[in-house]
């Protein structure tokens, strides 16, 4: 696997992150990857305003970026939201450029996010995935995550997260001991 540069996002990176996330989850390029949600959720996955709001949240999350070289194109990202008083960090918005999926970039991004969470003092990580994404859930399970049995509702009443095309969407919760 090639070496990658992992670094926190800057404000200047945020427009490119929004473009990456929207293209990978639901955009025109989403079908090039295997983690798309485009067949059951329309619209954006995030916006510049929503991303800025998330980054300003308490506890302050870290948005990590993966590049082949410093200053190069963003190939992947992950949000690490510490909940250290509760012993965990929430991992979200783990995204890989669609044409690069299944090439080790996602694994490198996930490992970097987990290492960052551990460095913050987390003893475990937690994430949520739309329940229909069986292939993605299986990918996380192969990396040590387990389904907790907990489920969370999809925010049907909040268009900032897209417009569902099917009824009954929900998130499953996965976790992993670090």
Q: What is the pLDDT along the chain (178 residues), one digit of tens a residue?
A: 568 999 999 999 999 999 999 888 876 654 545 567 777 788 778 889 999 988 888 778 899 999 999 889 999 999 999 999 999 999 999 999 988 777 789 999 999 999 999 999 999 999 999 999 899 999 999 999 999 999 999 998 887 778 888 899 999 999 999 9
Domain positions in the chain are 5-177
For the chain, first and last CA: distance in Å?
Answer: 22
Q: Is the peptide bond before 166 cis (omega within 30 degrees of 0)?
A: no
Check residue 144 and give its pLDDT. Answer: 98
pLDDT at 30: 46
Which numeric CATH code is attached to 5-177? 3.40.630.30
Q: What is the pLDDT of residue 66?
A: 96
E-strand stretches of the chain: 5-8, 41-42, 62-67, 76-83, 88-96, 124-130, 146-153, 163-164, 170-177
How many CB atoms are located within 10 Å of the residue 91 CB?
28
Q: Distance of alpha carbon 178 from its chain centroid, rounded?
A: 18
- pLDDT for 157: 87
Give the distance from CA 171 to its chain's centroid. Answer: 13
**Pure H helices in the chain:** 14-25, 48-55, 105-119, 134-142
pTM of full prediction above 0.85: yes
């Amino acid at each position: 696997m090639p070496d990658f540069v992992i670094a926190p996002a800057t404000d200047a990176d945020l427009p490119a992150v929004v473009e990456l996330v929207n293209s990978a989850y639901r955009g025109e390029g989403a079908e090039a990857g295997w983690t798309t949600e485009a067949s059951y959720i329309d619209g954006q996955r995030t916006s510049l305003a929503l991303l800025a709001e998330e980054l300003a949240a308490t506890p302050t999350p870290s948005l990590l970026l993966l590049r082949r070289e410093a200053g190069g194109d963003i190939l992947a990202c992950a949000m690490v939201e510490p909940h250290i008083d509760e012993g965990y960090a929430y991992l979200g918005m783990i995204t890989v450029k669609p044409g690069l999926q299944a090439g080790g970039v996602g694994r490198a991004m996930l490992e970097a996010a987990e290492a960052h969470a551990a460095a913050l003092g987390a003893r475990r990580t937690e994430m949520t995935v739309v329940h229909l994404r069986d292939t993605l859930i299986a990918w996380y399970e192969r990396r040590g995550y387990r389904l907790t049995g907990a489920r969370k509702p999809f925010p049907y009443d909040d268009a900032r997260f897209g417009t569902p095309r099917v009824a009954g969407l929900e998130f499953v919760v996965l976790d992993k001991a670090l």
